[in-house]
Amino acid sequence: MPPSLQHPDAAIPTHRDFLGAVLGVGLDRSKVGDILVQGETGAQLLVTPDVADAVCALLTSVRTVKVTVTRIPLADLAVRPPTVKELTTVEASMRLDAVASAGFGVSRSKMAAAVKGGDVLVNWREVGSASKALRGGDIVTFRGRGRLEIGEVATTAKGRHRVAMTRFL
């Protein structure tokens, strides 16, 4: 069961505030999953089961706001449906830098630099080269920018690739 954080009326803490408070009690970042900020009612925090009791016992404030931490069943998580944007692009090749730059709205050179810097994952794995060929069904994750799912790929009359994509914002 994930802990649920509740706080009284005060300046509303952000995701960064909740993460800082949780890491401030000595938890390893690898033990902390998603933090679902609920606005004025607090946040819901997913942690590994072995540290859930420690979070409940040790976390008493976020910024200067006193909080109460309780465990809740996974079924009670308030998960918002993802915001998506459907896109279609026509590209000369199915290279990662070409397709992902169109999907994320950045230049091809910036995408290539992000791939080289390790900020881009394909199917949840780091890729070594911006020239990696993508296929339908691949998931491209760009740290800090969201996720892109490659949909149907069709070949145009001129031999280019028409790519349907869903971008998760």
Burial class (CB in 10 A: 0-12, 13-18, 19+), 83: exposed
In Å, how far are 30, 42, 95 from 104, measured between CA atoms?
27, 31, 14
Same domain, 49 and 88: no
- Residues 44-72: pLDDT tens digits? 999 999 999 999 999 999 888 888 999 98
Same domain, 14 and 63: yes
What is the three-class DSSP state of 81?
coil
Same domain, 153 and 123: yes
Give the domain extent around 13. 3-76
Same domain, 67 and 103: no
Same domain, 46 and 90: no
Same domain, 63 and 117: no
71: part of which helix (H) or strand (E)?
strand 68-71
Number of helical H runs and strand E runs in the chain: 4, 12
- Residues 86-123: pLDDT tens digits? 999 999 999 999 999 999 999 999 999 999 999 999 99
Number of domains in the chain: 2
